Chain A
Amino acid sequence: MLAIKDLQVSFSGRAVLQVTDLKLAGGKVHGIIGLNGAGKSTFFNVLSEVVNAEKGEIIHDGKPLKYPDIAYLETSNFFYASLTGREYLNIFPKTNPDFKLHVFRDILQLPLDQLIETYSTGMKKKLALLAILQQNKPVYMLDEPFNGLDLESNRALEMIMDLLRKKGKTVLVSAHILEPLLHTCDQIHLLQNGRFIQTFEEAAFPEIREKLFAQLNQDLQNKLGQAF
């Protein structure tokens, strides 16, 4: 169980994230959705201690959550230049005993002996994903992992998340597109203006779209009416 209480993050005096009380059940896949600027990446960055919270606590299984407990796939993936994919992966500890690189290489079709700068966006995303999958961590955070992936890799990623769930890992995943989250998550948490306003169970997933776009639809309609 991941419990977040009274968490607050501000940038230049403006509160960008306020989580009063959020409990994320362990061994489940949790979707984090919200419109642009809602605070999804900030939420992930606070959990992985990239950004410091002003106050609040994040407890995982009774202990404060620390960055070594987390495997974090960032939205934008940066790599050290002039390394091959295999050399990059070798830097990370292989603590996951079930991880078979050659199988993943075939599934994700990655040319591991080529320089990373020759990779496409999707290939870079897949390489970064492999780097975190080869590590055995209790919490996996995937910030927009579907960006740039081809259809096959998209499906593979959905199945990987399912596998992580079966292994008892807690998975937090965000996406700009709602569709893949509906297939993979046990719960989806709606983030609006830095606050979690609602949690949807699987049965209530069809309502998310309406709730998420309620305000936006009206605004867009007005603006588009002026534009054309």
Chain B
Amino acid sequence: MPPNLLRVRFLQFRREWRTLGLLHKGLFCLLFLTLTAISYSNFQEQPNCWFLVGGLWMAAVFTQLFRPDKSFVLLHLAKPHQAIFLEYAVISLPFILPALFSPNWFCLFIFLAGLFPITFLRTSFQIQTRFVFLGKILPPTAFEWIAGFRKNFPLLVVVYALALALSWVKMLPLLLLWLFCGIILGFYQFSEPLLLLRTCGQNPATLLKKKLLEMGELLLFICLPVIFLHAVFHPWLGLAGLAFLMLQFCVLAFAILLKYSTYEPNKTLNSNLLLLTFAQMSVVLPFFILLPIALVFRQYRKAKQNLTLYLPPC
């Protein structure tokens, strides 16, 4: 029955929502309203409305190609295509419904008409072992980076290559590095099993120090070439590059500390994503520039305290 899939999504959403604190709920609503407002403003004129429709179709295509429950849905649900269509339509509603209140109201119907054929895409991509060399060039204990690089390799390579190639353009390489580091923040969203945690450090302070130093070295290794080249072309912006590096280090340190302050073995820390997004935004927003430093100090104590539960003194 088509509504079953929607009900599953509703239950999943409700469960996630309950795990969020008041602040996260507020931030989520804010982000949600902002995105709705952006889509409303884009629907007001052409060709922006078509870009938005195209973007939503692309998102649906990617979801359809990579969704892990496709075989299950097609095998066990009655009218599976209707079920998937309804699911995509309902999820897109907040971003497509504003079209009705614009001169380009017909975009809604065109979007829905184009959405239905997407549900018939049956191709699936098998998980393949790519970039085995990553395990050889990165230290084994930086498993977050190995796994994260493997997942995002093409995107990271493109962004980094652009940053290097466009180092003569004023500030753009730093913006691309900022994007690159934003992707790296996502590496710290999964809690490792207890066995791994205990292998990486025998007490909270040692573990955090090791993780922070390791991340610092890798970040330096990645960012320095771009910052150096940018400084060669724009010597008067050399200091800006160094300040960027410092702030980015603080944000990544915050990501590590946030992960360990909310650490529970084998858990995905989805609720940290919003705070991480805000921390990363603070690097480019002048009035928030001290936020990453403040966050690092605040989170270090919390992380140490939480880790004591899992790394009792020997």
Contact = CB atoms under 8 A, between A and B. Distances in A.
A86 B314 contact: no
Given A66-B314, A118-B127, A91 B141 contact: yes
Interface stretch (B40-48, B192-200, B222-230): B192-200
B129 A84 contact: yes
A117 B147 CA distance: 12
Interface string A116-133: 011000000000100100
B314 A67 contact: yes
Interface in A102-152: 113-115, 117-118, 128, 131
A80 interface: yes
Contact of A87 (B135, B199, B266): B135
A78 interface: yes
Contact of A67 (B129, B140, B192, B198): B198
A93 interface: yes
B26 interface: no
Nearest to A93: B199
Contacts of B127: 115, 117-118
Given A78-B266, A87-B134, A114-B129, 18 more contacts: A67-B198, A68-B314, A74-B195, A80-B193, A81-B151, A82-B146, A82-B148, A82-B151, A83-B135, A83-B143, A83-B146, A83-B150, A84-B129, A84-B132, A86-B135, A88-B143, A91-B196, A115-B128
Interface of B: 127-129, 132, 134-135, 140-141, 143-144, 146-148, 150-151, 190, 192-196, 198-200, 202, 265-266, 312, 314
A50 interface: yes
6 contacts: A67-B314, A82-B147, A82-B150, A83-B150, A115-B128, A128-B195
A141 to B, nearest CB: 12
A68 B199 CA distance: 9
A92 B202 CA distance: 13
Contacts of A217: none
B190 A80 contact: yes
Interface of A: 49-50, 52, 66-68, 72, 74, 77-84, 86-88, 90-93, 113-115, 117-118, 128, 131
B131 to A, nearest CB: 10
B195 A72 contact: yes
A60 to B, nearest CB: 13
B314 A87 contact: no
A114 B129 CA distance: 5
Contacts of B132: 84, 113
B199 A91 contact: yes
Contacts of A81: 147, 151, 190
